[in-house]
């Protein structure tokens, strides 16, 4: 009975969210819609990243690599053969890819699946190491993807990148995928699999002694994250319409890392809050990159100042709230209803 009530409340709030999306799509400015799209894509990326980093406790730095793979796969699939022919001016594209063309949904899903397969294969070597070493090898993966995309000219068009992608991504695509990602990830977390992942995070050797196949659990987290990061990459590609090896750098990973650390490692609720804070915050902070006059002192616009502000924010969080905004806690309907009842009483 109680579980039913919570499920109904969750379903209602998802419905309310989609109603808001529908309303926003008609009434918000194009700029506001664009920020919502960014927020939702980042939410999806960060939720996946939090599954592997926060829940399973495997500190890794690979999301920019996964996002890049998803973006490239989706981009190649949605470009028309004519576009590809005119774009690949250094060397022509390999024929079997040049003629491939499909609509957005299958392209996104294939992007996600290809990324998940890469994640699965990558998981075997990288999970042979733990802790800081894992961070280093996964950081290397992100860099490797960049070098590979720069040099496989017949597939990715090298440093020239892919331009003029059709803009299929709209707020609906972002909203549906983000909600789907959150549901899947939160259900994994709230099951025996999530418990096993948390056990690995707290003490891997003890988890092994409990009969948990730790490699398999890490792989589940990694592959799930890879799938949604790949799809997120596809959505981003069609949103920004131009991708090149320099688009998905380590700064993307860094931004996601800020989100999950500020929100609270292991807390999906925290991820939602922090995504909104960071994405909207970075829009508000555009001011600091503009030329400014402070008391007659002229400061020219410095690109990258926002990153400085974020770094300071991260340091402040590390000092004053080491567990992030939510720690490992999650929002629950029981908690909210108790609060409301408590106030009434």
Q: Return residues touching another protein (CB under 8 A).
A: 184, 187-188, 191-193, 195-196, 198-199, 201-203, 205-214, 220, 266, 328
Distance CA 232, CA 158 (A): 22
Closer CB to another protein, 19 or 192, in the complex: 192
Least distance to another protein, CB of residue 13, Å: 17
- What separation in angstroms does the CA of 12 have from each of 6, 180, 186, 306? 10, 15, 17, 37
Please, are residues 135 and 60 in contact by the beta-carbon 8 Å criterion?
Answer: yes
Least distance to another protein, CB of residue 214, Å: 8
Distance CA 100, CA 111 (A): 14
Closer CB to another protein, 217 or 237, in the complex: 217
Closer CB to another protein, 89 or 209, in the complex: 209
Closer CB to another protein, 145 or 189, in the complex: 189
Least distance to another protein, CB of residue 174, Å: 21
Closer CB to another protein, 111 or 266, in the complex: 266
Least distance to another protein, CB of residue 16, Å: 21
Closer CB to another protein, 207 or 272, in the complex: 207
Helix, strand, coil percentages for the chain (3-state, nearest 5): 75, 0, 25
Least distance to another protein, CB of residue 188, Å: 6
Please, are residues 221 and 51 in contact by the beta-carbon 8 Å criterion?
Answer: yes
Closer CB to another protein, 128 or 187, in the complex: 187
Assigned token pair, 62:
């690979």
| Beta-carbon count within 10 A of 308 CB | 12
Residue 196: Cβ-neighbour burial (10 angstroms; 0-12, 13-18, 19+): buried
Least distance to another protein, CB of residue 129, Å: 17
Distance CA 233, CA 235 (A): 5
Distance CA 268, CA 306 (A): 25
Q: To which residue do tokens 């664009």 refer?
A: 34
Least distance to another protein, CB of residue 193, Å: 6
């Amino acid at each position: 009975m109680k579980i039913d009530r919570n499920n109904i409340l969750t379903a209602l709030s998802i419905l309310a969210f989609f109603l808001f999306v529908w309303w926003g799509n008609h009434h918000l400015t194009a700029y506001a819609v664009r920020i919502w799209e960014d927020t939702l894509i980042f939410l999806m990326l960060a939720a996946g990243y939090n599954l592997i980093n926060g829940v399973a406790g495997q500190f890794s730095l690979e999301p920019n690599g996964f996002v890049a793979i998803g973006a490239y796969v989706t981009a190649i699939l949605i470009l028309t053969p004519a576009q590809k022919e005119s774009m690949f001016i250094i060397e022509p594209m390999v024929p079997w890819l040049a003629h491939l063309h499909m609509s957005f949904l299958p392209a996104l899903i294939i992007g996600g699946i290809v990324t998940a397969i890469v994640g699965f294969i990558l998981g075997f070597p990288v999970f042979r190491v733990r802790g800081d070493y894992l961070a280093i090898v996964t950081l290397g993966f992100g860099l490797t993807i960049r070098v590979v995309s720069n040099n496989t000219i017949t597939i990715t068009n090298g440093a020239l990148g892919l331009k003029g992608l059709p803009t299929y991504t709209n707020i609906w695509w972002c909203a549906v995928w983000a909600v789907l990602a959150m549901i899947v990830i939160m259900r994994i977390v709230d099951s025996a699999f999530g418990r096993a992942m948390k056990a690995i995070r707290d003490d891997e050797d003890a988890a092994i002694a409990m009969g948990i196949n730790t490699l398999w659990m890490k792989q589940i987290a990694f592959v799930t994250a890879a799938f949604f990061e790949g799809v997120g990459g596809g959505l981003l590609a069609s949103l920004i319409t131009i991708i090149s090896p320099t688009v998905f750098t380590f700064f993307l990973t860094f931004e996601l890392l800020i989100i999950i650390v500020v929100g609270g490692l292991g807390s999906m609720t925290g991820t939602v809050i922090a995504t909104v804070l960071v994405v909207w915050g970075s829009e508000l902070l555009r001011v600091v990159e503009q030329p400014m006059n402070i008391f007659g002192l002229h400061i020219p616009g410095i690109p990258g100042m926002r990153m400085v502000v974020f770094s300071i924010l991260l340091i402040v969080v590390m000092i004053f709230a080491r567990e992030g905004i939510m720690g490992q806690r999650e929002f629950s309907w029981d908690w909210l209803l108790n609060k409301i009842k408590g106030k009434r009483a």
